[in-house]
């Protein structure tokens, strides 16, 4: 396990067991670096990833604190795209472009916490709503955890549905960015080169380790990212 992942797991455990409740201060970068015998940069990366995942809040000059539970569960809920499309009363369809075994690049290996050059399972699928592409899913899967991933018919079940059944997911992380798509992505999404896209990079874990690393690209004109949160009114004395 990468050194920064050890730090993240340490903080996960503190939060999960209730030892660090919401708003509890989290150890500083310097303290974590000393505790785990790593550089301050490694400790900073662990804390920043936890902040990106919504588990902690970092405030300059004040430090890092466990996020309120309501903040932790904002947009992080993972929905099955087929269900989302059908809930809108529309027709869902998937087009599988390829399913293959390939060697992991350094980026994929780091995301899956495996050695570069190790075999990974790779799928590329376009998800369509009323025959219009709304998501291009490029997913890399750890074959040790999901050996039969490439044997499934993903026109009948989505990768997300299958993974949830065969290896129940315990956690996930998201990174969201706006991009200008490359020509191959434009072709698969049936959009022009000047259409902006929203890209979600998602990693999922099970009890056995990192299960998958997915790059989800959505045409800006066909996708909205939203959520709903409830806030309790302050209690009066």
pLDDT in tens, 19-58: 888 889 999 999 999 999 999 999 999 898 888 777 888 8
What is the rounded distance in angstroms from the CA atom of residue 144 to the CA atom of residue 223?
A: 34
Domain boundary among 12, 42, 72: 72
In the structure, how many helices (H) and strands (E) does the chain have? 8, 9
- What average pLDDT does range 130-149 have in this prediction? 96
How many Cα atoms are found within 13 Å in the side-chain-facing hemisphere of 96?
15
How crowded is residue 90: how many other Cβ atoms within 10 Å of its Cβ? 14
| Start-end of H helices in 64-205 | 69-72, 81-87, 106-112, 159-166, 183-189
Domain that holds residue 35: 3-72
CB-neighbour burial class of residue 231 (10 A; exposed 0-12, middle 13-18, buried 19+): exposed
Q: Helix/strand/coil (H, E, C) string of 178-189?
A: EECCCHHHHHHH
pLDDT of res. 169: 81
Task: Name the pLDDT band for 96 (thresholds 50, 70, 90).
Answer: very high
Longest dimension (CA), the chain: 62
Query: Do 67 and 90 fall within a single domain?
Result: no
CB-neighbour burial class of residue 60 (10 A; exposed 0-12, middle 13-18, buried 19+): exposed
pLDDT of res. 28: 92
Residue 102 lies in a domain: yes
Residue 237 lies in a domain: no
At 98, which CATH number?
A: 3.40.1410.10
Residue 232 lies in a domain: no
pLDDT of res. 13: 84
Total domain count for the chain? 2
Q: Does the structure show a pLDDT above 50 at 66?
A: yes
Query: Do 50 and 127 fall within a single domain?
Result: no
Q: 4-8, 12-16, 56-60, 225-229: lowest mean pLDDT where?
A: 225-229
Tell whether pTM > 0.85: no
Query: Do 193 and 152 fall within a single domain?
Result: yes
Task: Name the pLDDT band for 70 (thresholds 50, 70, 90).
Answer: very low
DSSP of 41-54: HHHHHHHHHHHHTT
Residue 236 lies in a domain: no
- What average pLDDT does range 67-93 have in this prediction? 70
- Compute the CA torsion angle 7, 11, 12, 13 (nearest 10 deg): 110
pLDDT in tens, 175-222: 888 999 999 999 999 999 899 999 999 999 988 889 999 999 999 888
How crowded is residue 133: how many other Cβ atoms within 10 Å of its Cβ? 19
Query: Do 38 and 100 fall within a single domain?
Result: no
Query: Do 89 and 206 fall within a single domain?
Result: yes
What is the rounded distance in angstroms from the CA atom of residue 117 to the CA atom of residue 145?
A: 17
Query: Do 213 and 110 fall within a single domain?
Result: yes
Task: Name the pLDDT band for 73 (thresholds 50, 70, 90).
Answer: very low
Query: Do 25 and 45 fall within a single domain?
Result: yes
- Say which residue, 226 or 149, is predicted with more confidence: 149
């Amino acid at each position: 396990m990468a050194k920064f992942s050890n730090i993240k797991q340490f903080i996960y455990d503190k939060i999960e067991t209730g030892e660090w409740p919401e708003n509890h201060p989290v150890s500083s970068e310097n303290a974590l670096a000393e505790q785990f015998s790593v550089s301050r940069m490694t400790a900073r990366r662990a804390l920043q990833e936890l902040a990106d995942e919504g588990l902690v809040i970092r405030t300059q000059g004040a430090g890092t604190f466990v996020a309120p539970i309501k903040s932790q569960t904002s947009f992080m809920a993972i929905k099955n795209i087929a269900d989302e499309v059908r809930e809108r009363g529309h027709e869902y369809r998937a087009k599988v472009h390829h399913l293959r075994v390939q060697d992991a690049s350094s980026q994929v290996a780091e995301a899956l916490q495996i050695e570069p050059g190790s075999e990974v399972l790779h799928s590329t699928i376009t998800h369509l709503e009323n025959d219009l592409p709304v998501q291009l899913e490029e997913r890399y899967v750890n074959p040790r955890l999901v050996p039969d991933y490439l044997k499934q018919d993903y026109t009948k079940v989505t990768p997300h549905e299958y993974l949830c059944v065969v290896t129940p997911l315990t956690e996930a992380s998201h990174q969201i960015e706006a991009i200008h798509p490359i020509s191959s992505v434009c072709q698969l999404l049936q959009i022009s080169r000047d259409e902006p896209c929203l890209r979600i990079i998602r990693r999922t874990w099970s009890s056995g380790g990192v299960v998958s690393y997915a790059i989800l690209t959505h045409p800006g004109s066909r996708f909205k990212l939203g959520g709903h949160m409830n806030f309790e009114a302050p209690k009066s004395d």
